Structure 1
Amino acid sequence: MLGVIKMDEKKILKTIDEMIADPWQVDIQELFEASFNEPDEIKKNYDSLYTYVLQKRQEDIINRPGFVI
């Protein structure tokens, strides 16, 4: 397990491994808010994870049969 992401002490997001394994199970709004509200150094990590999850979701949609741009 790589680690646990914390927005604050009351709310803990899923582990990074869980987010990478299934991007559709991630509350992407919660992840965005975590990246927006954290200090700059931590924010870089959240931004990268948010981008990864968003990209994986987009790839899944684009690779569906019948998808046309």
Structure 2
Amino acid sequence: MLGVIKLNEKKVLKLVDEILADPWQVDIQKLFEASVNEPDEIKKNLYDSLYTYILQKRQEAIINHPGFVI
């Protein structure tokens, strides 16, 4: 093999599910920093996508909160 790392797919999916389940429990600053500082383009895109998703979910929660006024 050429150094291929086999990941436990169920473990990875469980971690992603936990991150996406409650956007308020994620340290969004760490995701942003990981995205900015990651040299691997694929990982950088993953961190960026997670950051954008978490930010969007937080914004939706705030906007949909009763009494929110623009």
TM-score band by shorter chain is 0.7 to 0.9
How far 1:45 moved relative to its partner?
0.9
Query: Which TM-score applies when normalising by structure 1?
Result: 0.76
Find the counterpart in structure 2 of residue 49 from structure 1. 50
**Residue 17 of structure 1 aligns with which residue?**
17
Contact in 2 for aligned 1:2/1:17 (Cα 8 Å): no
Q: Aligned equivalents of 1:44 and 1:66: distance in 2? A: 35
Distance across 2 between alignment mates of 1:54 and 1:3: 21
Residues 55, 66 of structure 1: alpha-carbon distance in 2 compared, 3 angstrom cutoff? same
Q: CA RMSD in A?
A: 1.6
Compute the displacement of 1:58 (Å). 0.2
More helix, by proportion: 2
Alignment-derived partner of residue 12 in structure 1: none
Paired with 2:69 and 2:36, the residues of 1 have a C-alpha distance of: 33
Q: Which one has a larger percent strand, Structure 1 or Structure 2?
A: 1
Q: Which runs of 5+ in 1 are unaligned?
A: 5-14
CA distance in 2, matches of 1:31, 1:2: 20
1:55–1:2 Cα change, 3 Å:
farther
Runs of 4+ in 1 over 3 A off after TM superposition: none
